[in-house]
Structure 1
Amino acid sequence: MNDDASAAPADPAGAEPRIYIHELIDVIGHNRARYVQHMTANWCPIARQERDQLCLGVWSTIGSTGAWPQVVNMWELRGWDGLAANLAHETAGGRDQDPSLAAWWSVAASLRRGGFDRIVVPTPWTRPVEQLCADGVRGAVYAHELFTVAPGASGDLLAALGERGRPAVEALGSTAVGAYEVAMADRSEAIAIWAIPDWPSWVAYERAWEPGGALEAWAAELRGVGARWRRQLMVDAPLSPLRTGRQPQESDRRPLDEL
Structure 2
Amino acid sequence: MRRGIHLLEEVEFHPMNSRRQLEYLRRLTAYKREDDARAAGDAELTTGLSIRSREIDLVGAFYAVGITGHPQFKVVTLWDCHGGWDGGWRQMLQIYEDVRANLFLSDLDDLRFGAFSRPLGSAPGAPPPAGLVAEGYAAPLYLFESARVRPGAALDYLAAVREERAPVLAEYGHRLVGAYEVQFCDTEAVTLWGTDIDSHLRVQRARDAALGMDDGVPADHRLLTWRKRARVFLEGSWRETLLSPYPGSKLAPR
Q: Same fold (TM over 0.5)?
A: yes
Deviation at 1:209, TM superposition (A): 3.8
1:37-186 matches, within 5 Å, as: 37-43=26-32, 45-46=34-35, 49=38, 50=43, 51=53, 52-65=55-68, 66-77=70-81, 78-92=83-97, 94-96=98-100, 99=102, 105=106, 107-185=107-185
Q: Which moved more, 1:133-142 or 1:66-75?
A: 133-142
Deviation at 1:240, TM superposition (A): 1.1
Aligned counterpart, 2:200: 202
Deviation at 1:82, TM superposition (A): 1.9
- Count of aligned pairs between the two proteins: 224
**Residues 209 and 219 in structure 1, CA contact (< 8 A), matched pair in contact too:** no
Among all aligned residue pairs of Structure 1 and Structure 2, give the percentage whose two residues are the same amino acid. 27
**Residues 179 and 192 in structure 1, CA contact (< 8 A), matched pair in contact too:** yes
Compare the two structures and name the one with the higher helix fraction: 1
Instruction: Please give the TM-score of this superposition, normalised by the length of structure 2.
Output: 0.80
**Residues 32 and 58 in structure 2, CA contact (< 8 A), matched pair in contact too:** no
For residues 149-198 of structure 1, what are the alpha-carbon distances to aligned partners after superposition, in whole Å with 9 as ceiling and x for unaligned?
1211111111111111111111211111111010101x2111111111x3
Q: Secondary structure at the match of 1:112?
A: coil
CA shift in 2, pair 1:70/1:195, >3 Å? same
Structure 1 stretches of 5 or more lacking a match?
1-13, 246-259
Aligned counterpart, 2:223: 215
Q: Secondary structure at the match of 2:95?
A: helix
Distance (Å, rounded) in 2 between the aligned partners of 1:226 and 1:177: 21
Q: Secondary structure at the match of 2:87?
A: helix
**Residues 59 and 133 in structure 2, CA contact (< 8 A), matched pair in contact too:** no
Distance (Å, rounded) in 2 between the aligned partners of 1:180 and 1:230: 15
**Residues 47 and 53 in structure 1, CA contact (< 8 A), matched pair in contact too:** no
Which consecutive aligned stretches of 4+ in structure 1 deviate over 4 angstroms post-superposition? none
The higher relative CO (CA closer than 8 Å, separation ≥ 6) is in: 1
Instruction: Please give the TM-score of this superposition, normalised by the length of structure 1.
Output: 0.78
Deviation at 1:46, TM superposition (A): 3.7
CA shift in 2, pair 1:22/1:110, >3 Å? same
**Counterpart amino acid of residue 229 in structure 2:** E
Cα RMSD (Å) of the superposition?
2.2
**Counterpart amino acid of residue 241 in structure 2:** Q
Q: Secondary structure at the match of 2:231?
A: helix
CA shift in 2, pair 1:165/1:46, >3 Å? same
Distance (Å, rounded) in 2 between the aligned partners of 1:32 and 1:238: 13
**Residues 61 and 76 in structure 2, CA contact (< 8 A), matched pair in contact too:** yes
Aligned counterpart, 2:243: 234
Deviation at 1:47, TM superposition (A): 7.8
